[in-house]
Amino acid sequence: MIAAILADAVLVLHALFIAWVVAGALAVARWPRLAWAHLPALAWGLWIEASGDLCPLTPLEVALRRAAGEAGYAGSFVEHYLGAIVYPAGLTREAQWVLAGALALVNACLYAWVLHRHARRATRPRRMR
Exposed/middle/buried for 88, CB within 10 Å: 0-12, 13-18, 19+? exposed
Give the whole-angstrom CA distance, residue 127 versus residue 129.
Answer: 6
Q: Domain ranges in the chain?
A: 2-123
Task: Give 55's DSSP letter.
Answer: P
- Whole-model pTM above 0.85? no
Question: Digits of tens for pLDDT over the chain (129 positions)?
Answer: 788 788 888 888 888 898 899 899 999 988 989 999 999 999 999 998 888 788 888 888 888 888 888 776 666 565 566 555 544 566 777 878 888 899 999 999 989 998 888 888 778 776 666
φ/ψ of 83, rounded to 5, equals -55, -45
